[in-house]
């Protein structure tokens, strides 16, 4: 018997097992898209009750059921007088909206923790998409190219509309001005969220001079913070938005001039998936794309772009937070060389994240950073997030709070009268 013949039964068994392990293209929550829950008993931080709403998108980016979006909107509307804290989460690779997804379990614990800590009416909005197509762990890793294509494809009109509608319902229709909205996208979910929000944000920037803005050239963006966490998407996406913000001279600041992040990209220094595996995966797909060198303005001579990068290949292979040239800030202890360099350059400390036990981390603009836009990009120490996937933890929550505490309109702890919140405005010099 030939070698192939000898192994044919085993091969057939593996094939049959692999194919029966496929996760079908289906929604999970159409029958009950809104859940009022107490968190799982094992959650590390315990927790209080919360509301969890699911909005699911199919593999082409269409809403599986527009009723899910309507239910989410109605939930936010019903809570309008209770100063709700809305957390919109877009999950990543190897996850979906089912109860078997680790991101669903983690999000539940996180919502419970936030609700207990801030005594607010917490509404979680979970954006589900088909991030997982097989149950076999080994095969999951080979779905990288298939799923990054899906993550690039699905942020279309339906998703952007869903995000904008939630933003408006939470912030613009918020009579008391006390509602808060945080958007978080993890891994491929960061790519999904970035692509969806970019469209909405660019549209708002272009509208800034119209009657809808609060004053000429400025407006309040209807979200308190947009976070791309361990984002697994090529920096090309971020680069285009950075270019727009750079050209428009946009800054996100309070009346007093304090600059805040409008968009925040945070990647753990221990995230080997985006540090190493992502460039590897992208390198294998280089044959599919045509990349170019950057040219000097009005010339056909090669010249680095405003961030000092010579070609698109760099942005294609790396994520934004793993591209040194795009990093705007550093997070580290007082004795961290990058923090020391920034302080020596006269940069002011933006915020401090205190993890207790003497573990204090400073958030400082990076020394000689070229990215001075309101899209802040940085890496975070492993104390906050140790790797790519362990994201639902109190330490990361503390880091987000360090950012949010700087925002006068967040009012996580107090429902006192709100001072004017940060606004996105154009600088006159541009």
Residues 66-85 that bind another protein (CB under 8 A): 67-68, 70-71, 74-75, 78
Per CB under 8 A, the list member of 8, 25, 247, 296 interacting with another protein is 25
> Across the beta sheet with 225-229, what order do the strands follow?
50-56, 122-128, 85-90, 180-186, 225-229, 263-268, 375-380
State which of positions 391-410 bind another protein (CB under 8 A).
Answer: 392
Lookup: tokens for 202:
């660019």
Beta bridge partners of 85: 122, 180
String of contacts with another protein for each residue 368-387, x by CB under 8 A: --x-----------x---xx
Please give the Cα distance from 160 to 197 (Å, whole number).
7
Stretch that binds another protein, among 82-90, 197-205, 246-254, 303-311 (CB under 8 A): 303-311
Of 130 and 425, which has the nearer Cβ to another protein? Answer: 130
Of 8 and 216, which has the nearer Cβ to another protein? Answer: 8
Per CB under 8 A, the list member of 63, 80, 83, 102 interacting with another protein is 102
Min dist. Cβ of residue 195 to another protein (A): 20
DSSP-derived 3-state class of residue 317:
helix
Stretch that binds another protein, among 132-140, 158-166, 173-181, 415-423 (CB under 8 A): 132-140
Of 54 and 221, which has the nearer Cβ to another protein? Answer: 54
Min dist. Cβ of residue 273 to another protein (A): 9
Please give the Cα distance from 271 to 323 (Å, whole number).
14
Q: Show Cβ contacts of residue 179 under 8 Å, excluding neighbours closer than 6 positions.
A: 80, 83, 84, 85, 86, 170, 171
Spatial contact of 112 and 123, defined as CB atoms under 8 Å apart: no
Strands 263-268 and 375-380: parallel
Q: Does 42 bind another protein (CB under 8 A)?
A: yes
Q: Does 123 bind another protein (CB under 8 A)?
A: no
Q: Does 109 bind another protein (CB under 8 A)?
A: yes
Q: Does 136 bind another protein (CB under 8 A)?
A: yes
Of 3 and 344, which has the nearer Cβ to another protein? Answer: 3
Spatial contact of 302 and 294, defined as CB atoms under 8 Å apart: yes
CB atoms within 10 A of CB 15: 10
Q: Does 361 bind another protein (CB under 8 A)?
A: no
Spatial contact of 383 and 395, defined as CB atoms under 8 Å apart: yes
Of 40 and 420, which has the nearer Cβ to another protein? Answer: 40
């Amino acid at each position: 018997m030939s070698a192939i013949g000898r192994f044919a039964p085993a091969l057939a068994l593996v094939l049959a097992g692999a194919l029966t392990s496929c996760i079908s293209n289906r929604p999970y929550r159409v029958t009950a898209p809104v859940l009022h829950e107490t968190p799982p008993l094992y959650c590390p931080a315990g927790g209080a009750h919360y509301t969890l709403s699911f909005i699911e998108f199919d593999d082409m980016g269409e809403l599986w059921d527009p009723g899910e979006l309507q239910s989410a909107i109605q939930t936010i509307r019903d809570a309008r007088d209770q100063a709700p804290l809305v957390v919109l989460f877009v999950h990543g690779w190897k996850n979906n909206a089912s109860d078997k997804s680790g991101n669903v379990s983690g999000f539940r614990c996180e919502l419970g923790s936030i609700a207990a800590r801030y005594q607010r009416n917490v509404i979680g909005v979970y954006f589900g998409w088909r991030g997982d197509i097989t149950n076999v762990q080994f095969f999951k890793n080979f779905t990288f190219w298939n799923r990054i294509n899906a993550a690039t494809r699905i942020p279309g009109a339906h998703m952007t509309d869903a995000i904008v509608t939630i933003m408006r319902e939470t912030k613009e229709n918020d009579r008391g001005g006390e509602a808060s909205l945080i958007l978080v996208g993890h891994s491929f979910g960061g790519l999904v969220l970035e692509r969806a929000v970019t469209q909405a944000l660019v549209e708002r920037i272009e509208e800034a001079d119209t009657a809808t803005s609060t004053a000429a050239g400025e407006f309040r963006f209807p979200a308190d913070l947009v976070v791309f966490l361990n984002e697994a998407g090529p920096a090309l996406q971020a680069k285009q938005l950075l270019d727009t913000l750079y050209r428009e001279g946009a800054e996100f600041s309070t009346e007093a001039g304090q600059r805040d992040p409008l968009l925040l990209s945070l990647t753990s220094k221990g995230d080997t998936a985006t540090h190493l595996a992502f460039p590897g995966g992208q390198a294998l797909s280089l044959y599919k794309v045509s990349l170019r060198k950057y040219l000097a303005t009005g010339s056909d001579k090669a010249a680095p772009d405003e961030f000092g990068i010579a070609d698109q290949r760099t942005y294609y292979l790396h994520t934004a937070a793993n591209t040194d040239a795009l990093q705007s800030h550093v997070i580290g202890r007082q004795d961290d060389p990058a923090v020391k360099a920034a302080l020596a350059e006269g940069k002011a400390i933006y915020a401090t994240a205190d993890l207790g036990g003497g573990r204090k981390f400073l958030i400082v603009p990076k020394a000689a950073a070229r990215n001075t836009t309101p899209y802040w990009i940085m890496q975070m120490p492993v104390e906050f997030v140790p790797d790519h996937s362990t994201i639902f933890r109190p330490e990361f929550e503390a880091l987000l709070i360090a950012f949010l505490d700087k925002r006068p309109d967040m009012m996580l702890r107090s429902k006192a009268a709100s001072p004017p919140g940060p606004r996105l405005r154009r600088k006159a010099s541009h």
